[in-house]
Structure formats: structure tokens, C-alpha cells
Chain A
Amino acid sequence: MTNRIQIGVIFIIINLSFGYLVYPNLIYTLAKTAHWEVVLCQAFLQLLLIWIYFKGLSFFPEKDVIDIYLKMGRWFTFIFLTPLIINLVTLFALNIRLHTEVIISIFLPRTPYWSIMILLFFISIYTAVKGLGTILRSSVIIFLIVIPLVLLNIFTSVVNFDVHNVTPSWSLPHKFLFNIKFLYLIGFSSFLFLGFISSNTKLKLRHLLVPWVSVTLFFLTVVYIPLFIFGQEAVVTLNNPFLEAMDSIDISWFSFNRQAIFFGVSLVGLVILTNAVLLWMIGQIIQKMLKRQKEELSYWMMAISMIAVILSIFIPSKSLIEKYFLWSTNVQAFFMFVIPITIFIYGFLAKRGVFGYEK
């Protein structure tokens, strides 16, 4: 039971972490009015993919994604999962660097970025090396720290709202559905990790409904807070609309006068856990694919994360980080379509006995 709650909590945390930074900008470029349609369509697409994923996984009880791929064949696994590892490593590196840049711009303007990054790396590597149990337990603590801050951010921003800044409308036809960028959006809603822990949890889709609803609501607030404050026209000129929106709030009645600090602190918590999960996924794939011992795993993870550290330190400029981050989420989106669908098809065929080695 607690396990299910913890998984839901991780699901929320990872989505929050990816949703805060580049996500609103993408939505604003996709639609000029009725942004909620884009967010809801993306959320339903996510739910559909999770459903396919779970359906596919349910054909193989007690197995996780990697086991299923291994069952398909070793070469198959290599072809599918090696690019996934590369993608996860880049995502791991860029995610930390992106968050670091924002944290620096919020409250550590004179600190070199590598020192913050190494701190973040160190904690997430430590959590990942300790294993899934630690990740699950720490997720609850981080959730309890971060969610009040997120809610504080949302509720205090209401003073600056001008509801008239958003044109209430339906926009038909849905042009964005045919825009390739819309499909890329799914890269921001990570759910792939659910398949990695399926072997020892009996997670059903209905257990995820509450987290899914809260994540959707969160995505709506992330998109609409800057919109209510600045309006569509001004928001597209801003680099980091959510941060600017937080910065516009005057909370001098509080002992801290900068709202954005809370935003920064919550980002730290979110990015640590998200990266721990990403690294743990990488570790799982390597361990099962190369049939390594569990003891050896921590060395592999450290080696991989060293690559990520070097990668993230050597990206020269902020605009490049955003560009690369977008690319890696686009690739991630590709996997989010391919993995659930292949597993579903394979499971379906295997159940029909096409491959001949069913019981």
C-alpha cells in the first residue's frame, strides 16, 4: 500500500521537475489562446500511453521492461535500450545543468555553477546507488518539503492575477494536434520508470489516477500563472516566464521578501530525486543487459554519472543547454511512444502463442 503511494509521489515529483522550466515556453509557442486544450490533450495522451504500457506489462506478471525486452531477444534489447541509455544519460546531465542555471539566477549569483552541480550530482548519485528503497523513502520526505512550497507559490501568486489577460475561448480546429511539437511535449511527462519497478509492485492504472489528476492540475497552473500575470503577448518575450511570474510577487508581509527563493528551493528537491530515478533506471538497464552482479552496479552508475558530469560541465552557454535539453526530451518522447507500444504488441502476440514458447 505504502509502496503505491510512494510510486505516485515519485510520479508527481518527476513531472513537477520537468514541468517547471522549459515546458511553459513550449505551450505558449503552440497556442495563442486556449492553452488548456493543449495541456489537457497532452495529459490524455499521457494517460493513454500509460494505459497501453500497463496493459503490455500485465501480459508478463513479475517482469519489468528490461526482462521483457530480454525475452524478445538480446539483439533486440541492444538495439532498443542502448539508445535509451544514451538518452537518459544526456537527460540526466542536462536536467541538472538546466536546474543549476535557474538556481544560480535565483539565489546564488556569485557561485560558480560547477560547485552547485557537483553537490546536486553527489546527492542524486548517492540516492541512486543506495537503490530503489532509498529512492522511494526519500521521495516522501522531498514531497513533504516541496509540495507546501509549490502550493505557497501558487496561492501567493493569485494577488497579481488579472483574469482578463487570458482570452476565454475554444479554438477549433485544433491546429496544434498536427504540430510535431505537440508530440514532443509528451517527453516532459515521464512515466517510463513505472515499467522498471513493475516486477515487484502490483501497480494498476487506477492507483495512478490521483497522481495523474494532480500532475495535470499542476501543468495547468504552471502554464496559467504566467499567463494570468503577464498575458500571452508579454509572456512569449520572457525567457523563463514562471520564474518572472514568481519574481513579480511582492510578499513583504512575510519574513522573506522574495517569492522566487521558495521556487528555487523546491527546484533543488525536485531535481535531486528526478535525477536519482533517471540514474537508477540507467543502472537497471546496464545490470540486466550485461548480466552484472548487484555489487558491481554502483561502480557502473558512478562511471556513467562521471560521463554525465563531464558532459554537463562542458556545455558552454545557457541557450545551448536549453536547445540540447529540448532535443533530449524529444528523443525521450520517441521512447515514450515506442516502448509501451512494442511491449503491448509483443505481449499481445505472445499471449496468442505466436512465438510458440508460451506455457
Chain B
Amino acid sequence: MKNNKTFTLLIVIMSTIFLCGCWDIKDINKRSLPLVMGISKEAEEEYKLTLQIPILENENQISKVVTGKGNTVASILGQIRTNSEDAVDYTQIRLIVIQSNLAHSEKEFKELIKFLMVSKEIPSRALVAITDESIEKVLANINDKLGVQATSIYDFFNKGGGWAPEMFSIPIWEVYRSAFLFTKDIAIPVVRSGKDTVLVFEGSDILKKGNIIERISPHETQLINVFQNKNEKGKIESLGFASIMVTNSSIQNKTSMKNNKPVLSSDLKLKMYILEREEGITDNRIRRELEMLIEKRFYNILKKTQERNADIFGFGQQFQHMLSYNELKDWRNVYYPNLKVNFKVHANME
């Protein structure tokens, strides 16, 4: 019996021999973890890929920007890996900035998103943003201002409730999904490098079935957020003669079908707080003007998007239970252009 136990112990100890198999493992301190990736491609040229990589070496924390060129994104990723002194691990990428020329060429953009989604290494949770500037400039700016702290770029897009209601974030998987959805289109945030801040939010690009069709301003972007049930709290509106801050908002939608045409009545309730006003301006006037401003803004986007058959507000999602699966397929082309929306804003003083 005792003999048997020694034998078992021996086998257990011998299993440590397998540890030799780990001789070429790269621990976390031997890896470099890029956080921001920028991709651009001019027509008829090669892809250009830029990475911002923080390097942690004991005390001195430095970061660098690496650029590569190649026929495909995958080949550049491989090439950067070859030329880097550390093992480059792409699994921690937080933000992917795409140059707008590349984003506007339909075929390449779709292929790129598919590659990013399917790729095992690049996480599909990474956020996507579009820029009109050159990729190097944006990444160099991120690198100069944030350096090793580039993970905080995530906070730029996710500010949390009540801080910056215009801002929103879109991960890769949502961009990938939007090319397949019947009844909803999405917007991708557009940024440029800031002079003092790291990035400047410039609005967003509307993506219809995976193709970019239109640029809208931050104000308009914010209206889209409202329809995604995001609170408008914290939004500051300037009416010229007064400024107000929205302290609470809620939206209610009612859907119906009339003569096979979709009708949606939507009520946006706002609670506001007057920050400043010119003398002699009554509460009522501010309220009326604000209601008119937001309604006008809404109908403006609705008209623009209905002409282009892009359901940016995702209204079609609310008709899911009224139309059959096959009818939903034609939502963008048949039903959405005929959609009638009765949008009413009800502003109230706090």
C-alpha cells in the first residue's frame, strides 16, 4: 500500500516535466498590447494601418505609433508582428479609427468590417469611429496626449448618463449586424484630433445596410439617441435669446397601420431648466421656441433619411409585431418612405 502511494507521488512529480513545453511562452510583460488601431486606404492604393502601442518598461512608461502598408489588413497585422521586438497581442484593441475615404468605398468597408468581426484576435467589442483627417494625425494626437493611458479613450465614447447626451459608441459587432437588419440603421461617430482635447466629436455618419450615406451633426445625433430610449438629461440648448438645460426626458411611441401605411405618433416629454435669458423673455416663449426647434430638427432628419430609405431611428423595429417576416424584408423600400410620424415635444419647466 505504502509502495503504491510513493509510485503515485512519483507520477505526479514526473508530470512537472510537461512544464518544459512552456519554454517559449510570452508572458504579459513580454507582449505589447496595441490599444488603438487606425485603418485607411486611398483609392487604388494599399491599405495603411497604424497602431498605438503603450510599452511598459519598469519605471519609464512610453508609447509609440507604428504604421504598416500592405494589400490586406491581415497581412499588415502579420507584418507589424514580424517587425516588432515584442510579441504583439491584438486582443486588447479598444478603438478602431477608420479613415472616411475607406469608409465610403462600399465594398472595401464591408470586407473590412467582416474581417474585424470574424478575426479571432481583434475583439468584436472594439469601438468604431470615422475620421476625415489622416489616420496618423489622429493616432499621433492620441499618443501625445494619452500615451500609456490610451485605455481611457473608451471613456471618451462612454461618458455615462447625464454628462454628454450627444455622445454614443458603436462596437464592431453592431456595425456588422447593421448590414443584415431589415428595420434599423445605425450611425457611426465621426471624430477628429483636437487641439487641446484628444478628440473632437463632429457628428455621425449614417450607415444604411453597411454603406455610409449621410453626415449628421451632433444635435441630430442626439435626437437619434433619444429614440433609442437614451435620456436627454444634461443636454444644453441655446435658443439665441436664452439657454436651457434638459434635466429629464422621456419618449412614448404608439404604432398603428392605416391603409397598409405605417403611422407612428411619438411624444417627447422634456423637463428643462433655464440657465440664462435676455430680459423680458417669458417662460412660455422659451418653451414654444424649444419645442419648435426640436420638432423642426426631427422632421429635417426624417425627410432626409426617408429620401434615402435609411431607417436611422429604428422605427421599423416597433412595427415588428404588425408586419410579417416577409413584409419586414421590404421595410426600407416599401413601408419606411410612407411612414408618417406625428412627433410632438412637450417641454415643461422644472
Chain B residues positioned under 8 Å from A115 (CB to CB)? 21
The segment out of A7-15, A75-83, A229-237, A306-314 that lies at the interface is: A229-237
In this complex, what residue of A is CB-closest to B151?
A252
User: B338 to chain A: which residues have CB within 8 Å?
Assistant: none
- CB of A250 closer than 8 Å to a CB of B: yes
Q: Is the CB of B121 within 8 A of A247?
A: no
Is the beta-carbon distance between B124 and A32 smaller than 8 angstroms?
Answer: no
Check: B163 CB closer than 8 A to any chain A CB.
no
In the complex, B234 has a CB within 8 A of chain A: no
Q: Which residue of B lies closest to A234 (CB)?
A: B180
Cβ contact within 8 Å between B120 and A234: no
Task: Report the minimum CB–CB distance from B13 to chain A (whole Å).
Answer: 17
- Least CB distance from A9 to B in Å reads 29
Interface pair B180/A164, CB less than 8 Å apart: no
A109 touches B321 (CB 8 A): no
- Closest residue of A by beta carbon distance from B173: A248
Is B183 a contact of A164 with CB atoms below 8 Å? yes
Which residues from chain A contact B154 at a C-beta distance below 8 Å? 252
> Shortest beta-carbon distance, A75 to chain B, in Å?
43
- Is B299 an interface residue when CB atoms closer than 8 A count as contact? no
Known: A105-B120, A231-B181. A167 touches B125 (CB 8 A): no
A239–B328 Cα distance when bound, in Å, is: 25
Interface string of A158-178 (1 = CB under 8 A from B): 000010111111000000000
B177 touches A234 (CB 8 A): yes
Contact B123 A167 (CB under 8 A): no
A167→B318 CA distance, assembly (Å): 10
Interface pair A244/B124, CB less than 8 Å apart: yes
Q: A234, B176: Cβ atoms under 8 Å?
A: yes
A-facing mask of B253-286, CB < 8 A → 1, else 0?
A: 0000000000000000000000000000000000
Q: In chain B, what residue has the closest Cβ to A233?
A: B180
B325 at the interface (CB under 8 A from A): yes
**A197 at the binding interface (Cβ < 8 Å):** no
A248 touching B325, Cβ below 8 Å = no
Interface residues of A in 255-290 (CB under 8 A from B): 258
Give the residues in chain A near B120, CB-CB below 8 Å: 105, 109
Q: Is the beta-carbon distance between A169 and B317 smaller than 8 angstroms?
A: no
| B residues near A30, Cβ cutoff 8 Å | none
A208 at the interface (CB under 8 A from B): no
* Chain A residues, Cβ within 8 Å of B118: 239
When distances are taken between beta carbons in the complex, the residues of chain A under 8 Å from B177 are: 229-231, 234
Chain A residues whose C-beta falls within 8 Å of the C-beta of B121 in the assembled complex: 109
- 0/1 interface trace, chain A 176-190, chain B, CB 8 Å (1 if under): 000000000000000
B320 interfacial contact with A, CB 8 Å: yes
B236 CB to nearest chain A CB (Å): 28
The reply to whether the CB of B314 lies closer than 8 angstroms to some CB of chain A is yes
Asked if B68 CB lies within 8 Å of chain A CBs, one says no
For A164, what are the chain B residues with a Cβ–Cβ distance below 8 Å? 183-184, 314, 317-318, 320
B171 interface residue (CB < 8 Å to A): yes
1/0 contact trace for A209-243 toward B, CB 8 Å?
Answer: 00000000000000000000111011001010000
- The residues of B that contact A162 with a CB separation of less than 8 Å are 317
Question: CA A12 – CA B121 in complex, angstroms?
Answer: 32
- How does the 8 Å CB contact mask read for B180-219 relative to A, with 1 for contact and 0 for none? 1111100000000000000000000000000000000000
Q: Are A33 and B181 in contact (CB under 8 A)?
A: no
Smallest beta-carbon distance A202→chain B, Å: 37
Q: Chain A: how many interface residues by the 8 Å CB criterion?
A: 26
Report B-chain residues with C-beta under 8 Å of the C-beta of A167: 320-321, 324-325, 328
B133-177 residues at the A interface, CB under 8 angstroms: 154, 171, 173, 176-177
Quick check: B123 and A237 within 8 Å, CB to CB? Answer: no
A149 contacts B by Cβ under 8 Å: no
Q: Which of A2-41 contact B (CB under 8 A)?
A: 32-33
Whether B173 and A244, one on each chain, are in contact in the complex, defined by CB atoms closer than 8 angstroms, is yes
Contact A247 B182 (CB under 8 A): no
A239 to B124, CA, bound (A): 14
> Which B residues touch A252, using CB under 8 A?
154
Q: Output the least CB separation between B34 and chain A (Å).
A: 15
Tell me if A249 counts as interface (CB < 8 A to partner B): yes
CA distance A162 to B316 in the complex (A): 13
Cβ A32 vs Cβ B325 within 8 A: yes
Q: How far is the CA of A111 from the CA of B21 in the complex (A)?
A: 10
Within the complex, the shortest CB–CB distance from A166 to chain B, in Å, comes to 8
Within the assembled complex, what's the spacing in Å between the Cα atoms of A164 and B328?
12
Docked-complex contact A33 and B325, CB < 8 angstroms: yes
Chain A residues lying within 8 Å of B182, measured Cβ to Cβ, are 233
A165–B124 touching, CB < 8 Å: no
Interface centre among B123, B124, B125, B184, by most A CB within 10 Å?
Answer: B125
Question: Would you give the 0/1 interface string for A318-331, flagging 1 where the beta carbon is closer than 8 Å to chain B?
Answer: 00000000000000
- Report the minimum CB–CB distance from A3 to chain B (whole Å): 29
Nearest CB on B from A298, distance (A):
16
Binary interface encoding of chain B residues 306-345 relative to chain A, with 1 for a CB under 8 A from any of its CBs, else 0: 0000000010011011001100100000000000000000
Nearest to A239 among chain B residues (CB) is: B118
- Check A231–B180 contact: CB distance below 8 A: yes
Q: Which residues of B contact A249 (CB under 8 A)?
A: 125
B178: nearest chain-A partner, CB-CB: A234
Bound CA span A252–B160, Å: 14
Q: In angstroms, how far is the closest chain B Cβ from the Cβ of A62?
A: 35
B171–A250 CB distance below 8 A: yes
With the chains together, A246 CA to B62 CA distance in Å?
Answer: 33
Is the CB–CB distance between B123 and A247 below 8 Å?
A: yes
Instruction: Write out the residue numbers on chain A whose beta carbons fall within 8 Å of the beta carbon of B173.
Output: 229-230, 244, 247-248
Closest 10 CB pairs between A and B?
Answer: A164-B317, A233-B180, A234-B180, A248-B173, A234-B177, A250-B125, A33-B325, A167-B320, A230-B177, A168-B321
Binding site for A on B (CB under 8 A): 21, 91, 117-118, 120-121, 123-125, 154, 171, 173, 176-177, 179-184, 314, 317-318, 320-321, 324-325, 328
Binding site for B on A (CB under 8 A): 32-33, 105, 109, 115, 162, 164-169, 229-231, 233-234, 237, 239, 244, 247-250, 252, 258
Q: List 7 A-B contacts (CB under 8 A).
A: A109-B120, A164-B320, A169-B325, A229-B173, A231-B177, A247-B123, A258-B91
- With A234-B180, A250-B171 already in contact, 4 other A-B pairs whose C-beta atoms are closer than 8 Å: A229-B177, A234-B177, A248-B124, A258-B123
